[in-house]
Structure 1
Amino acid sequence: MDTVSYGRELRQRERLLSLLLSRILKRQLPPAVFTALGELRRGFTRLRDQDDPRRRQVLRALIERLDPESITQIVRAAGVYFGLLYIAEEFVALRRRRHAVRAHAHMWPGSFHDTLWGLKEAGVGAAEALALISRLRFMPVITAHPSEAKRRTIKGALRNIFLSVEALDDARLRGSFRAEAVRRLASQIQILWKTDEVRATQLDVRDELRAGLSYFPLSLFSATVQVYRNLRRAVRDVYGEQAAAGLEVSRLLRFGSWIGGDRDGHPGVTAEVTDLAWQMQARVALEEYLRRLEQLSDQLSYSIRMCRPSAAFLASLEEDARYAALRFPAQPHRYQQEPYRRKLAVMCYRVKRNLDAVKAAIDGAPLEGEELGYESAEGLLRDLYLIRDSLIQHGDEDVANAELTDLIHLVETFGFHLLQLDVRQESAVHTRACGEILRAALGVDYVALDETGRLALLGELVGRPDALAFDPETLSQQTQETLRVFRVIAHNRRALGPACFGRYVISMTHGASHVMEVMLLAALAGLAGRVGERWFCHLGASPLFETIDDLNRVEQVLEQLYALPAYRHLIAAFGEAQEVMLGYSDSCKDGGILASAWSLYQAQKRILAVSERHGIPCRLFHGRGGTLGRGGGPTHEAILAQPPGTVHGELKLTEQGEVLFYKYNNMETAVYELTLGITGVLKASSHLVGGGRTDREAYAAAMDEIARAGEQAYRTLTEGTPGFLDYFYEATPVQEIGLLNIGSRPPHRRQGDRSRASVRAISWVFAWAQSRHTLPAWYGIGSALAAFRGDDPARLALLRQMYRDWPFFRTLLSNAQMALAKADFGIAREYAQLCTDPALGECVYTLIAAEYARAVEEVLRVSDSTALLADNPELALSLSQRRQYLDPLNHVQTVLLAKFRADAREDSPWLEPLLRSINAIAAGMRNTG
């Protein structure tokens, strides 16, 4: 399906969904409101084609006359349209891939077949390819942040509509059958219209846990096994049956989470909440295993007279006698002639006991009596392997390789813990805790020590925490809570297995002592230390470097850390790679997109280089957000844009905000997204089997100069422009975003503080997107490129060569194009006029708008394009479709902001439509947080 066919197909699907929605709205809305909706949509569409100040004034007056209830209905209609348009786009993209599979034997860009054929053509043989795949691990980490505005109920309604749209693609549907399918689709749209998209109450962490975990039964369990099947088929098709037989896939995917573990600036995440997160995760995994075991029991109805199970399997039935007596108390010979059913019934009983124990822990009422479940996921796996091997032994390999193997892969991937939960806390919390403990135990003023003194003391004590005798009750509540967290980690590692815990992430890491403080606190909980001369360590600490300054001194911090004998003993005892996390959000908010992107790029190379010098394996953890200003954008391209040689088979990255919905609400799209992630890691790691690219020195030198100029331009605006922060708070809805029940974490670190440091990077980006500035993703690029090229044709030629040949630079400017295309400075001016000081608003707006024009001009010049997104027509078409509702929504929101702020009442009637407008614009803009 080419671009023209894609556009035709999309318009056809969009017209159907739009027509069905219009019919519903005509029936459901008051005639005056329905008419106003049409006038606004058509009027602002004409204004985009040709500006007309008089018509704009008429439309503005129409909005001003509308009452709160009428505006609410108009905003809701736009939000529903955006949801339907996304479904149309998602379905057409899926159809496009299916067409490619039929036409080219599973070949679509980024597919397993496409990637493996590329390796084979590059001279990578079957043995090398299998060795490379065996090293791969793609690790998405789900997080909860105040940028995802969709309720879980809305996601479910949209999933049902997607399935109804997909049903219409069945060529067998004709006549009355097709008419009935269209009626079903219309009814699903009407249900969506009648479902409230705004939450009535503020989310807490438990709500976020339920929301994040809901994606696994909805799509990710099925997507995971489908990804494994697809990879095996691709290896067989490209490298042959023998290679496929030797393929090991269960290491390929691991999922992590921060929900319930991320306590940085979040008072709602306590030790008890973290413990609850592990229990809720375990429940989801066990429920899925129980469901699949019951299905297998229905399928494997083999009679003992028709097959001969293996001796090991039959022996296991004898060992199960104790459980069988409890499972079949009234029918001791149940399934006696159907050995696999008998085995599976016992396995179901044991998993049910595990599940009952987890549910009881969630309810705060531990089970009474003997524990009869599996001690670990390995016990369940042993039984599944017994069944598989027995089936294969008596000639039923095809049966063994179907649903049974799917379940095996799920248990190998998810264990009893489902997700590897990371815990995150800010470094200052650990410094205070260590200061209190060392003062109480030794009378030492730890906080007054310099870095050298701190490291010497921590290095000595981490191996003998028993030397620290103190009364915990004398410590502050925060320090007691910090110690409880480490005890919870230790408890759940024992209860759910070591894999339940990911890493302890230390935000705002400024020195090596911040890592060693965590190791000392871990030692106090029995997670690290020394017995005699033998060191042990059950906790990996991940320093998180977030600001530009921290990224620039990452090498110095790691050098100090690696040179410390105690830490080298600990990392060796831990037995896994050192993980270093990179913060995209705060570095961009701190120094702008160019300085952030280039500092992150260089930091990665320095991190890997210093780790290699010290002989310490290292894995990078990318703290990407959903939006382009926070490291977002297409995952596959982002992975390939990493510095050459820095991806060593493993890649871990956060999946934040609305990204979870767009990637994982539908199983079919989840398969696609996970595949792109894995093949991105595969391509980026191909240097491990020979060859590999290197960066050109001329490109790096140019980027040094460009990044410095970009950072200077950004800091001149954000730090050197009088009243800039007042403009941000008044010309965007950042304060009102805090009133929307879309996250449990406060949008500010310090309430009432209007500084840039206080506002969270997520809210920073979200607010600029709402007001159509999209500033964090592009500001400074225009000035920097113009300053670098000057009037020198050779420099422009170098920039164009960098754009063509350097994945990092091309991805940077491609993402900037997306952000520039989503911005609209005609609309942004309406927000600027909300400033209480009109002169200030006009001054700051003029500065930003001028840089926007410069950025568009320079990006088009370097990319040698005539229009933004010329090389991405699908996205350009999507944006043009969305604008028919997005433009009116922004004008509506500016009116609502003015009315709400003038009203200055908590119970203002303008608050509800305003909050709904934030939801709707987020849906229309996408990549908002």
Structure 2
Amino acid sequence: MNYQPSQGLQQFKNLVGIKFQLYNSLFTSLPFHRIEKTGILLSLLLTICEDGYKKRQSPEQILEEFFQKHTTLAGEREKADVLFRFVQYVERQIVLFDALEDAAFKHVNDMSGAGTLKHLLSEVIQTNKEEELTEKLKDYSVRMVLTAHPTQFYPGAVLGIINDLSRAVIENNAADINLYLQQLGKTPFLKKQKPTPYDEAISLIWYLENVFYHASGRIISALKDQFPHAVDKNNSVIKMGFWPGGDRDGNPFVKAETTLRVAEALRGAIIKCYYLDVRRLKRRLTFKGVDVLVAELEQKLYNNIFIPGLKTELTKDEILEQLGQIREIIIYQHNSLFLGMVDNLIGKVQVFGLHFATLDIRQDSSVHTSVLAAIAAKERLVPEHYASLPDARKVELLTELSGTVNPELYDDPLIRDTLDSIAAVRTIQRGNGEDGCSRYIISQCSTASNVLEVMGLFLLCGWSKKDLTVDIIPLFETVDDLRDAAAVMKTLYENPHYREHLKLRGETQTIMLGFSDGTKDGGYLMANWAIYKAKEELTAISKEYAIDVVFFDGRGGPPARGGGKTHKFYASMGKNIANKQIQLTIQGQTVSSNFGTVDTAQYNIEQLLHAGISNDLFSSKEVTLQADEEELLHSLSVESYKAYTKLKEHPHFLAYLNEVSPLRFYNETNIASRPTKRKSSGRLELKDLRAIPFVGSWSQLKQNVTGYYGVGTALQWIDKQGKWAAVKRLYVNSPFFKTLLDNCEMAMKKCFFPLTEHFSAHPVYGEIWSLIYQEFELTQKYIFKLSGKNELMADYPVEQLSIQMRERIVLPLSTIQQYALTKFQALEKSGAASPLKEVYERLIMRSSFGIINAARNSA
């Protein structure tokens, strides 16, 4: 019987909706102060919130009415204490919901349906495209890069409880569920200190060891079982990347020492994974001739992780060679007994090597310019007044630099670390293999010299042009930079020295495109369209110069930062965009929501693999946008950009976000090691504000501006131009445009304007609130007109219900946060030195935890 979406919805209702109601009753036994009364009062508050917003009451009015009618509390401190208890209670309800969704995943989703590996293999066989698949897999891969951009507040202990709770739910073990919920009640959700970059790395290495390692092994084994000769031993179909410890863009806490420690931790973690697998093999491969080889391999791995101070010259090839010998003996002498276990481990070693994940280095382009200027002033290895030279002159001289810089001469910690980080790349490659650290990403890249400055610094740090085993990756982010990207790459491709470097790197150029800063700069529609066009133009210019271009997408969790239906975007790219590999960042709650368990990770990795392969093997001209369709999308993007720019340039735009949302408190939440702004100056500037706090603040306001603003205006404009029929055709025929609006709907589904409606009458912020609300209503009207539906996300009923349930759970927290913001600002404006000010500040931040964790479904 074919799997129907209605089956998934019913399973979700049964396994998540009903079970949430059942297990929710266990919360009354949680070890909180007066917990029974807290649960009853919270349930009452939820009803009062829903009724109050229908009556257009403000959060302050709703909570004051609640305290007056349903409690005997009079003092502000007592009221705040109750609100803190509500926050604690809701936080744990959200954990329960997460665990239930994880446990139900295999039943709610069709694990053999469209987009899965089984479906792909079936398509290949039915269309007789085995040869095409083999050719594709020679150099095709999916690279998932785990980033140092956490947007989830769960400490590691809580993530562990979610994992255990999910398992207990799957087993219907009520005793363990009750026990874990009690453990949850005793486990703090607060992080008392900011995590260091190394802490962030260790948190994400847990996912590599416990999720990606096993999910990747399953996928590679399945591919090899079906098509033994399709997976090329020189190309691992799955690749992992890693940013914590290497991403130093705007993070003063990442040092070269951190980078080396993280690389060592990655190496140790993957060897430990191999060691445990070899131990399991040893229990089965007890045959003559094999047992000795397995024992030898076990000892080699043991020596590299358990003997203090001992690190042997173990290599990936050495492990594979020994496993190959074991494999041959099993096949020819022991009837291939337990061969599947050996092949599974071989597949993992081919994917993860001794590096586990490639540690990327990332730095802002302006830093490289400053370092070269400092070298010019101190050592004269760079022409004097380098910084003031025209770009064309810089391009000429950067590839001709000679001499070796002395890092000891520089006192500035940023300059010293930049030089030390380049030295660290060589150290890591010696210990973890070349894949351990072979990519240098340049953020805020806008010129060819920005790229060649990195090449020049490597040359000055002792690397020669012939042994520069590093891919230099420009990151284009703003609308202007995306528009100019092809011209920048043309200049680089025409530079003989850089061209020679690309020849050494397999005639391949990786280019990163940033969604997060793109939407912050240009709004939702323009950012997505600018990236699409940049990819088309970069594909064309790279093809002209016989370069294989690979796109690396900087995507966040929500649609406003490039998330949402990611695999559908890749499947909709068409023939005009290079499809050599899929590379993307996995960040924030996307790590735990889409890759938190082996089943979810396997499913979502398969979706990405399928998207890239099917786009090449089965894509038709209908998927590729035609010239008139591109013209239509360009017109829509321009109109959308105009509307978003007008909002962004409103004199109260940033002040509104800073006052009405928790933006100003982001840096105090101890969520990440990086500051919320790129520069430490006191004045709030949009260009310095990082995309995560920017998008996250709109999300907590339940306004999600960067996920839809300007879309309605653009559709209305095209309608008035008499081109509605053309837009309708585009929506029906173009997977790209359809996915774009699907993700837009996801962002809108999580909006709730009654929460902030009281600002509509505000003397300063009333106008900007009304502008945002009117655009939301206009966008919704035109999306309904396009889709023929009368509710958002109607095509995705499971996710629609998940969002509805999560938003209902979190409504009291949003109300409490707005109430606390109002109280805090009143005290701040009065100038009174009240201890309550700190209480409300903590309440704002604590509410943020639950609100953001509840948004786990990437919206």
- Tell me by how many angstroms 1:654 deviates: 0.3
Change in CA separation of 1:732 and 1:255 when aligned onto 2, cut-off 3 Å = same
Give RMSD over aligned pairs. Answer: 2.4
Q: Which residue of 2 aligns with 1:218?
A: 210
Q: Which moved more, 1:855-864 or 1:548-557?
A: 855-864
1:110 is aligned, of 112, 115, 118, to 115
- Other structure's SS at 2:238 match: coil
Q: Which residue of 1 aligns with 2:421?
A: 485
Q: Which moved more, 1:419-428 or 1:451-460?
A: 451-460
**2-side partners of 1:666 and 1:130: how far apart?**
29
2:286 is aligned, of 275, 294, 301, to 301
Matches within 5 A, 1:37-116: 37-46=42-51, 51=55, 57=61, 59-62=63-66, 67-97=79-109, 107-116=112-121
Alignment-mate amino acid for residue 575 of structure 2: P
Query: Unpaired segments of 5 or more residues in structure 2?
Result: 829-834
- Other structure's SS at 1:541 match: strand
Q: Which residue of 1 aligns with 2:687?
A: 757
**1-side partners of 2:836 and 2:243: how far apart?**
33
Q: Which moved more, 1:79-88 or 1:478-487?
A: 79-88
Residues 438-489 of structure 1: CA distance to partner in whole angstroms, max 9, x if unpaired?
343255221111011111111322xxx23x6778515744222211111110
Contact 2:622/2:733 (8 A) holds in 1: no
**2-side partners of 1:691 and 1:124: how far apart?**
20
- Tell me by how many angstroms 1:51 deviates: 4.3
**1-side partners of 2:4 and 2:306: how far apart?**
53
Residues 140-168 of structure 1: CA distance to partner in whole angstroms, max 9, x if unpaired?
00002141211111111001111111113
Q: Which residue of 2 aligns with 1:264?
A: 249
**1-side partners of 2:184 and 2:746: how far apart?**
29
- Other structure's SS at 1:504 match: strand
Change in CA separation of 1:508 and 1:883 when aligned onto 2, cut-off 3 Å = closer
Change in CA separation of 1:838 and 1:433 when aligned onto 2, cut-off 3 Å = same
**1-side partners of 2:407 and 2:186: how far apart?**
57
**2-side partners of 1:96 and 1:925: how far apart?**
19
Query: Does 1:165 find its partner at 2:95?
Result: no
**2-side partners of 1:502 and 1:900: how far apart?**
48
**2-side partners of 1:256 and 1:111: how far apart?**
22
Query: Does 1:396 find its partner at 2:335?
Result: yes
Contact 1:647/1:685 (8 A) holds in 2: no
2:577 is aligned, of 636, 642, 646, to 646
Query: Does 1:706 find its partner at 2:657?
Result: no
2:357 is aligned, of 411, 419, 429, to 419
**1-side partners of 2:58 and 2:411: how far apart?**
68
- Tell me by how many angstroms 1:569 deviates: 1.2
Q: Which residue of 2 aligns with 1:609?
A: 540
1:886 is aligned, of 805, 810, 835, to 810
**2-side partners of 1:637 and 1:691: how far apart?**
17
Alignment-mate amino acid for residue 297 of structure 2: M
Q: Which moved more, 1:544-553 or 1:663-672?
A: 663-672
Residues 94-125 of structure 1: CA distance to partner in whole angstroms, max 9, x if unpaired?
1144xx56xxxxx311112222333444x443
- Tell me by how many angstroms 1:93 deviates: 3.4
**2-side partners of 1:663 and 1:77: how far apart?**
25
Change in CA separation of 1:476 and 1:887 when aligned onto 2, cut-off 3 Å = closer
Q: Which moved more, 1:481-490 or 1:643-652?
A: 643-652
Q: Which residue of 2 aligns with 1:772?
A: 702
1:921 is aligned, of 822, 836, 851, to 851
2:384 is aligned, of 444, 459, 481, to 444
The alignment of Structure 1 onto Structure 2 pairs a total of residues equal to: 836
Q: Which residue of 1 aligns with 2:667?
A: 738
TM-score of the aligned structures, taking structure 1 as reference length = 0.86
**2-side partners of 1:663 and 1:597: how far apart?**
22
**2-side partners of 1:61 and 1:601: how far apart?**
51
- Other structure's SS at 1:256 match: strand
Alignment-mate amino acid for residue 627 of structure 1: P
Contact 2:594/2:604 (8 A) holds in 1: yes
Residues 492-520 of structure 1: CA distance to partner in whole angstroms, max 9, x if unpaired?
11222111113100001111011111001
Residues 806-856 of structure 1: CA distance to partner in whole angstroms, max 9, x if unpaired?
1111111111111111101111325x48xxx93112121111111111111
Contact 1:263/1:423 (8 A) holds in 2: yes
Contact 1:504/1:540 (8 A) holds in 2: yes
Larger-Rg structure: 1
Residues 627-686 of structure 1: CA distance to partner in whole angstroms, max 9, x if unpaired?
111111122112113353424331111001111111222111111111111111111232
1:578 is aligned, of 502, 509, 512, to 509
Matches within 5 A, 1:361-380: 366-367=309-310, 373-380=312-319
Alignment-mate amino acid for residue 111 of structure 1: T
**1-side partners of 2:638 and 2:59: how far apart?**
44
Contact 2:407/2:420 (8 A) holds in 1: no
Change in CA separation of 1:928 and 1:70 when aligned onto 2, cut-off 3 Å = farther
Q: Which moved more, 1:899-908 or 1:376-385?
A: 899-908
- Tell me by how many angstroms 1:61 deviates: 2.5
Contact 1:522/1:539 (8 A) holds in 2: no
**1-side partners of 2:495 and 2:489: how far apart?**
10
**1-side partners of 2:296 and 2:362: how far apart?**
40
Query: Does 1:208 find its partner at 2:208?
Result: no
Q: Which residue of 2 aligns with 1:104?
A: none
1:16 is aligned, of 11, 16, 19, to 19
**2-side partners of 1:923 and 1:471: how far apart?**
43
**1-side partners of 2:498 and 2:59: how far apart?**
69
**1-side partners of 2:637 and 2:790: how far apart?**
25
- Other structure's SS at 1:199 match: coil
**1-side partners of 2:61 and 2:652: how far apart?**
29
Contact 1:644/1:692 (8 A) holds in 2: no
**2-side partners of 1:393 and 1:527: how far apart?**
47
Matches within 5 A, 1:394-543: 394-400=333-339, 402-439=340-377, 440-442=379-381, 444-461=384-401, 465-466=402-403, 472-473=408-409, 476-529=412-465, 535-543=466-474
Matches within 5 A, 1:854-893: 854-893=778-817
Contact 2:405/2:461 (8 A) holds in 1: no
Contact 1:421/1:502 (8 A) holds in 2: yes
Q: Which moved more, 1:766-775 or 1:914-923?
A: 914-923
Matches within 5 A, 1:647-686: 647-686=578-617
**1-side partners of 2:625 and 2:56: how far apart?**
50
Residues 735-770 of structure 1: CA distance to partner in whole angstroms, max 9, x if unpaired?
112211110001112232212112111110011001
Matches within 5 A, 1:211-290: 211-233=203-225, 236=226, 243-244=227-228, 247-248=231-232, 251-290=236-275
Residues 328-363 of structure 1: CA distance to partner in whole angstroms, max 9, x if unpaired?
xxxxxxxxxxx4333222222222222257xx5xxx
- Tell me by how many angstroms 1:700 deviates: 0.7
Change in CA separation of 1:92 and 1:355 when aligned onto 2, cut-off 3 Å = closer
Residues 366-387 of structure 1: CA distance to partner in whole angstroms, max 9, x if unpaired?
55xxx6x343121111111111
Contact 2:29/2:182 (8 A) holds in 1: no
Alignment-mate amino acid for residue 117 of structure 1: S
Residues 763-811 of structure 1: CA distance to partner in whole angstroms, max 9, x if unpaired?
100110011011111111111110111162xx11111111111111111
Q: Which moved more, 1:476-485 or 1:850-859?
A: 476-485
- Other structure's SS at 2:473 match: strand
Moved beyond 6 Å, runs of 4+: none
1:342 is aligned, of 292, 308, 314, to 292
Alignment-mate amino acid for residue 604 of structure 1: K
**1-side partners of 2:654 and 2:410: how far apart?**
42
1:184 is aligned, of 176, 180, 190, to 176
1:25 is aligned, of 20, 25, 28, to 28
Query: Unpaired segments of 5 or more residues in structure 1?
Result: 102-106, 169-180, 237-242, 305-338, 361-365, 530-534
